[in-house]
A = this chain, B = another copy of it.
Amino acid sequence: MTENFQYRLLARDGGARLGEIATPRGNIRTPAFMPVGTAATVKAMYPEQVRALGADVVLGNTYHLMLRPGAERVAALGGLHKFMNWPYPILTDSGGFQVMSLSKLRKLDENGVTFQSHIDGAKHVLTPERSMEIQRLLGADIQMQFDECVKLPCSPEEAERAMRLSLRWAERSRKAFGTQPGRACFGIVQGGASPDLRVESARALAGMGFDGMAIGGLAVGEPQDIMLAMIEAVMPHLPEDRPHYLMGVGSPDDLIESVARGIDMFDCVMPTRAGRHGLAYTRWGKVNLRNARHADDPRPLDANSSCPAARDYSRAYLHHLMRCEEILGMMLLTWVNLSYYQDLMAGMRTAIAEGRFDDFRRQTKEDWGRAGEAVGAS
């Protein structure tokens, strides 16, 4: 581990792990959910709110930030933390995933990826070295290796080719990261839906001295059981003394099932994106506020929530705001969802510490079935 960056495993409950990542910018309690701050903002949230919900770390997207406002510009302005008024830990992805999903006219070769910006068509090149340089310029506390992420399903040959390329890029990324006191570099396990390829990837990465291990290329369209099978195949080969990060995941159910299998960190746009589209995550399950049946419903989403947005506004009002496409609707529902996600993580952490993770898992899932009941005031 790099100086001042330290993972401590505090407790185990079955496969679930309770831990803590110490960084110079503060501790990250694990299992942790990282709100996604794509373009240097967790959409529709003030940074103070994100923090108050219990988020110890947010994610920034290298692809978006290199295009706008540009890594060199952020560095000149004092780094991403100062830029976005978030003095706590930041993890940046490598750009590998989004360059394949968002950009136009990609050309991929051994060296890296040449692509056109989805914003203005300008040509850019991302290589392992440039990705790590961008992440260093941004000042990310946790930096991710540059990888190639294939969509599932894909052929075994394609999965293998991308996995091996990602391993070669992992070595180049680790070398380019160098030594950055207090900062960490994570490797990314690839291998599509093949347990064998996944294991091979994990074993190879384990020897490269990464400060943490991520599992990438999942939650890209495959069923949950495939995702969980890949986690189970890989887990025995991940170093126990490093954090395990499942990238781009997921639904509340995905989070619980992945924690049960040893995952420590998550990021996902689901709570923020769903909130902007009128979908609320609550203890009692999902509620689609765009649905006309809420138009006259005076109940809040959850009268006993820790989040004012879930307590102080009726479903009728939230429905009205979404129908009128009011910004406040997106603000309130994003707040509700991030609050629920952070409460879920906190609940899992407490349950692991107290050795009752299975009970927590069962009870939480039972509660999700109660969205239709009159439980607002319960």
Cross-interface CB contact of A298 among B78, B85, B308, cutoff 8 Å: B78
Indicate if the CB atoms of A43 and B328 lie closer than 8 Å: yes
Docked Cα-Cα span, A98 to B38, in Å, equals: 38
Indicate if the CB atoms of A77 and B316 lie closer than 8 Å: yes
Asked if A295 is an interface residue, CB under 8 A from chain B, the answer is yes
| A71-101 interface code vs B (CB 8 A; 1 in, 0 out) | 0010011100011110000000000000000
The count of identical subunits is 2
Asked if A313 is an interface residue, CB under 8 A from chain B, the answer is yes
| A363-378 interface code vs B (CB 8 A; 1 in, 0 out) | 0000000000000000
Asked if A293 is an interface residue, CB under 8 A from chain B, the answer is no
Indicate if the CB atoms of B313 and A46 lie closer than 8 Å: no
Q: Which residues of A contact B (CB under 8 A)?
A: 39-41, 43-46, 48, 68-69, 73, 76-78, 82-85, 276, 295-296, 298, 308, 312-314, 316-317, 320-321, 323-324, 326-328, 330-331
Indicate if the CB atoms of A317 and B84 lie closer than 8 Å: yes
**Interface of chain A, main secondary structure:** loop
Indicate if the CB atoms of A77 and B296 lie closer than 8 Å: yes
Closest to A276 in B: B327
Residues of B within 8 A of A44 (CB): 327-328, 331
A129 nearest CB across to chain B (Å)? 25
Q: Given the interface contacts A73-B316, A316-B73, does A68 sit within 8 Å of B298 by beta carbon?
A: no
A358 nearest CB across to chain B (Å)? 39
A160 nearest CB across to chain B (Å)? 37
Residues of B within 8 A of A331 (CB): 44, 46, 327, 331
